[in-house]
Amino acid sequence: MKVAIASDHGGVAIRQEIKKLMEEMEIEYIDLGCECGSSVDYPDYAIPVAEKVASGEVDRGILICGTGIGMSIAANKVKGVRCALVHDVYSAKMTREHNDSNILAMGERVIGPGLAREIAKVWLTTEFAGGRHANRVNKIHQYEQTHL
Ligand code: RB5
């Protein structure tokens, strides 16, 4: 699996923590920034990660900002992206099993690095359950194909 990760200035510490986790898990990743000492705009980081996921250049994406909300809104504008904003381990598991989410968003001003690490670990290792959930995800895909 190959993962693209990025954050704005509000998510740098968790981004570093998740990179460390992926190294421990021997997961290949590309870090798309930010290189920020100052304030940056989250869409400039969410959209490049989302486009890499949508094109298949990477399998998954992880985005962190202050709340995770801006990153998830921006990423979900890209066709083919199912970005889940997650702040608990149960949702991390469910959004992989039920929604086949391909991007994980988290907020560094909402949770600490320890919980973020557990969420990312579960999200990275849980498989999509398929079956009836695949029908539901396909309906989102169909809508994207016909309306967007
Ligand atoms: C930046 O101050 C903050 O707005 C951003 O990190 C994020 O929380 C937006 O949703």
Judged on CB neighbours under 10 Å (0-12, 13-18, 19+), 82 is: middle
Cα–Cα distance, 39 to 16 (Å, whole number): 17
Cα–Cα distance, 73 to 42 (Å, whole number): 10
Judged on CB neighbours under 10 Å (0-12, 13-18, 19+), 89 is: middle
How far does the centroid of ligand 1 lie from the alpha carbon of residue 145, in Å?
A: 30
Farthest-apart Cα atoms in the chain, separation: 46
- Residue whose CB lies within 8 A of the most ligand 1 atoms, among 12, 67, 83, for a mutation test: 67
Q: How confident is the model at residue 37, as a pLDDT?
A: 79
Cα–Cα distance, 120 to 139 (Å, whole number): 26
Cα–Cα distance, 121 to 18 (Å, whole number): 9
Q: Please list the helix, strand and coil fractions of the chain in percent, rounded to the nearest 5, in that order.
A: 50, 15, 35
Q: How confident is the model at residue 63, as a pLDDT?
A: 99
Cα–Cα distance, 46 to 129 (Å, whole number): 26
- Nearest residue (by CA) to ligand 1, atom 9, is 70
Q: Which helix (H) or strand (E) holds 4?
A: strand 2-7
Q: How confident is the model at residue 148, as a pLDDT?
A: 86
pLDDT tens, residue order, the chain (148 aa): 999 999 999 999 999 999 999 999 999 999 999 998 799 999 999 999 999 999 999 999 999 999 999 999 999 999 999 999 999 999 999 999 999 999 999 999 999 999 999 999 999 999 999 999 999 999 999 999 999 8
Q: How confident is the model at residue 51, as a pLDDT?
A: 98
Q: Which residue ranges form the domains of the chain, and what is each CATH number?
A: 2-147 (3.40.1400.10)
Query: Which residue ranges have their beta carbon within 6 Å of ligand 1?
Result: 8, 10, 42, 65-67, 69-70
Cα–Cα distance, 124 to 106 (Å, whole number): 14
Enzyme catalytic residues: 65, 98
Q: How confident is the model at residue 36, as a pLDDT?
A: 81
Q: How confident is the model at residue 147, as a pLDDT?
A: 94
Upper half-sphere CA count for residue 78 (Cβ side, 13 Å): 24
